[in-house]
Amino acid sequence: MVEELLRDREDLLVVAGLGACAWDITAAGDRAENFPLWGAMGGAVMIGLGLALAQPEKRVLVITGDGEMLMGVGSLATVAVKSPANLSIVVLDNERFGETGMQTTHTAAGADLAATAAGLGLAKTATVSDEAGLATVRRNIYGDAGLSFDVVKVKAEDLDFTLPPKDGAYLKDRFRITLLGEGAATL
Ligand SMILES: Cc1ncc(C[n+]2csc(CCOP(=O)(O)OP(=O)(O)O)c2C)c(N)n1
Ligand SMILES: [Mg+2]
């Protein structure tokens, strides 16, 4: 599913929350324009918001898990206030804290992240669970729909995973250099 979302991504910048999202964007092809988080739980949307504001000419995708999004849910209020047109947020909702042992999250008990985002002021929100929905999410990421927030319901499966590089400083430098040039390295 993530491979399909990232197909023909060109220069899309991708911030992935920890857990399956970080592994899945890596499985789709590790590259400098990926910023997978190993920690910073709850921070993915804020990192993506800063990036979208700093790089208005680039499209930015934040892809994160339901647990991570629930932890950082307040950040959506700030996203709504700033409303960058180049930001898409996609939540892979398996209704589980998958990485830590598949404990159910609040979405399994009915918490509705798309409704929450709408309530905080995001105009374009949806929950999808089939291939037609996925096509809509792709249009939101690559089209000119502006700011979007999509929840993709996925099965809670314990799949093999592809780990991104483990060195956070390396990931940061590689990302900065590809955007800003060699001088942006801080190591
Ligand atoms: C502040 C903080 N609390 C708890 C954890 C432990 N932790 C790591 S991954 C994870 C679950 C993530 O769930 P979700 O975002 O839904 O991703 P999934 O693993 O389901 O893909 C938790 C609780 C952490 N890394 N940081
Ligand atoms: Mg999850």
Q: Amino acid letter at 66?
A: D
Gap from CA of 95 to ligand 2 centroid (Å): 5
**Residue 187: what pLDDT?**
63
Residue 44 lies in a domain: yes
Which CATH number goes with the domain that contains 85? 3.40.50.970
**For residues 1 and 3, what is the distance between their CA atoms, to the nearest angstrom?**
5
**Residue 144: what pLDDT?**
87
Q: Amino acid letter at 49?
A: L
CB under 6 Å to ligand 1: residues? 17-20, 39, 41, 65-68, 94, 96-100, 105
Residue 57 lies in a domain: yes
Residue 155 lies in a domain: yes
Residue 138 lies in a domain: yes
Residue 187 lies in a domain: no
* Whole-Å CA distances, 180 to 33, 106, 184: 12, 39, 6
Residue 99 lies in a domain: yes
**Residue 1: what pLDDT?**
94
* Total residue length of the chain: 187
**For residues 129 and 114, what is the distance between their CA atoms, to the nearest angstrom?**
13
Residue pLDDT tens, the chain, 187 long = 999 999 999 999 999 999 999 999 999 999 999 999 999 999 999 999 999 999 999 999 999 999 999 999 999 999 999 999 999 999 999 999 999 999 999 999 999 999 999 999 999 999 999 999 999 999 999 998 899 999 999 999 988 899 999 999 999 999 999 999 988 887 6
Gap from CA of 67 to ligand 1 centroid (Å): 6
**For residues 181 and 187, what is the distance between their CA atoms, to the nearest angstrom?**
14
Q: In terms of residue numbers, what domain contains 96? A: 2-182
The pTM is what? 0.98
**Residue 145: what pLDDT?**
84
Residue 79 lies in a domain: yes
**Which residue, 172, 178, 175, 35, is CA-closest to 187?**
172
**Residue 186: what pLDDT?**
78
* Whole-Å CA distances, 178 to 27, 64, 124, 184: 20, 22, 30, 9
**For residues 77 and 72, what is the distance between their CA atoms, to the nearest angstrom?**
10
Domain count, the chain: 1
Ramachandran sector of residue 150 (left: φ over 0; alpha: ψ -120 to 50; beta: rest): beta
Q: Which atom of ligand 1 is nearest to the CA of 66?
A: 16
Backbone angles phi, psi at 58, to 5 degrees: -105, 150
